[in-house]
Amino acid sequence: MKEKVLEKFLRYIKIDTKSDDSSETTPSTEKQFNLANVLKQELEVLGLVDISLDEKCYLMATLPANTDGDIPVIGFISHMDTAPDMSGENVNPQFWPNYQGEDLVINKEKNLVLTTTEFPEMKMYIGNTIITTDGNTLLGADDKAGIAEIMTAIEYLVQHPEIKHGTIKVGFTPDEEIGRGVDHFDVEKFGAKYAYTMDGGMLGELEYENFNAAGAKLFIQGRNIHPGYAKSKMLNSILIAMEFNALLPVFERPEFTEKYEGFYHLIKMEGSVENAMIQYIIRDHDKVKFEQKKALFTDAVEFMRKRYGDDMFRLELKDQYYNMREMVEPVYHIVEIAKKAMEDVGVVPHIVPIRGGTDGSRLSYMGLPCPNIFAGGHNFHGKFEYVAVESMEKASEVIVRIAQMYAEKSIA
């Protein structure tokens, strides 16, 4: 499957699907339909049935069972958009075959180097073919690697009817990167009992825990006065925003946290003396700590209101998704099947909590338990993103093996 998954991945990353968190539409960018239409045509060629692409850019299809038995319907899901953090236009991948553990100069002019000191995980892929960016865009492995892996596995199952499987559902969603990936996902229409998102990171990752997540925007109304006459009159909203940020715990930022540790992440700051806006994401795996983080944030806003006045601040704080562990643990066999499938194809499972979220986290709360499986990429959302071709190949093999195992076990 190596050549197939690579060919598909390279085709998909050439299609710009960057989402836009400032948009009020679904999808947030019309260009996501460009990839959806390509995938729809490919699914039609493969002979899948019940193919639908709706006005919100949700693409679904069915691979019918090729054997009898009480086999639960399972699904595989990936998202089509790439992160708004960096351009996904004119992606120019670079290939590093038979990688031997050296630092990779991805852009000599910009002095951009993937070093094994900063990114020690690279040494996992000695002997593999690594694909990197050219330093000007993100790569798009998040989550076009997942899409390529699903499409490759489905094609393989179609071409190898001797591999018995139940009904398999395929789903591709828009706007996951801006937290809206399943806002309009029709779980009943999808029709799966269990599903897996192919949206994880390094080879072997298997995840059924993720962050509880909230997003916050704080709008600050300042007072602009000519600087020559500003004494005791000017209220600089930019400086007030900086003052607010200093109230949050320094060591609860992403760059100081790992594993089960949560954080406050300042993701955007814009404005002038007169007006400013600062935007955060708030994350924690533990529900109690998550609520405490939100309470500290709102307490900090109240402190600033008492210092400067109520009318100067407007807070928008909204929960985004929750830890799917609560929904997956009652059907933990779906994690065990994925773990055994990895072992069967020669991949060492690495069960870890997601330091982020996937479409599966919300789908689990919508009645579709949905662990997350590795797609193989690293350093998502930026110019240092990379993926090993062999990891994508193994992910496709895992999908095939999972489908086969459900048919073998006929788990109700």
> Has residue 410 got a pLDDT over 70?
no
Segment 86-98 mean pLDDT = 96
Task: Say if CB 331 and CB 369 are below 8 A apart.
Answer: yes
How do 104-107 and 205-207 pair as beta strands?
A: unpaired
Give me the residues paired with residue 387 across strands.
Answer: 131, 377
- What percent of the chain stands above pLDDT 90? 94
Residue 179 confidence (pLDDT): 83
Confidence of residue 190 (pLDDT cuts 50, 70, 90): very high
User: Is 72 exposed, middle or buried, given 0-12, 13-18 or 19+ CB atoms closer than 10 A?
Assistant: middle
Q: 292 with 252: CB under 8 angstroms?
A: no
Domain ranges of the chain: 2-210+323-409, 212-321
Residue type, position 136, single letter? N
Q: Which residue has the tokens 């390279």?
A: 10
Residues, the chain? 412
> How far is it, in rounded angstroms, from Cα 321 to Cα 187?
17
Q: Which CATH superfamily is domain 2-210+323-409 in?
A: Zn peptidases (3.40.630.10)
- The reply to whether CATH 3.40.640.10 applies to domain 212-321 is no
Q: What is the pTM of this model?
A: 0.86
Residue range 181-191: mean pLDDT, rounded? 96
C-alpha dist (Å) from residue 371 to 144, 150, 336, 365: 18, 15, 11, 12
Mean pLDDT of 117-146: 97
The pLDDT assigned to 411 comes to 45
Residues taking part in catalysis: 81, 176
Three-state SS sequence of the chain: CHHHHHHHHHHHHCCCCECCCCCCCCCCCCCHHHHHHHHHHHHHHHCCEEEEECCCCCEEEEECCCCCCCCCCEEEEEECCECCCCCCCCCCCEEECCCCCCCEEEECCCCEEECCCCCHHHHHHCCCCEEECCCCCCCCHHHHHHHHHHHHHHHHHHHCCCCCCCCEEEEEECCHHHCCCCCCCCHHHHCCCEEEEEEECCCCEEECCCCEEEEEEEEEECECCCHHHCCCCCECHHHHHHHHHCCCCCCCCHHHCCCCCCEEEEEEEEECCCEEEEEEEEEECCHHHHHHHHHHHHHHHHHHHHHHCHHHEEEEEEEEECCCHHHHHHHCHHHHHHHHHHHHCCCCCEECCCCCCCHHHHHHHCCCCCCEEECCEECCCCCCCEEEHHHHHHHHHHHHHHHHHHHHHCCC
- pLDDT value of position 356: 79
- Of the ranges 185-194, 351-360, 377-386, which one carries the lowest mean pLDDT score? 351-360
Supply 27's token pair: 């999808």
pLDDT at 359 over 90: no
Which pLDDT band, with edges at 50, 70 and 90, does 207 fall under? very high
The whole-angstrom separation of Cα 384 and Cα 113 is: 8
pLDDT computed for residue 412 by the predictor: 41
Helix axes 287-308, 237-245, angle to 10 degrees: 140
Confidence bin at 327 (pLDDT 50/70/90): very high
User: What's the mean pLDDT in 309-329?
Assistant: 94
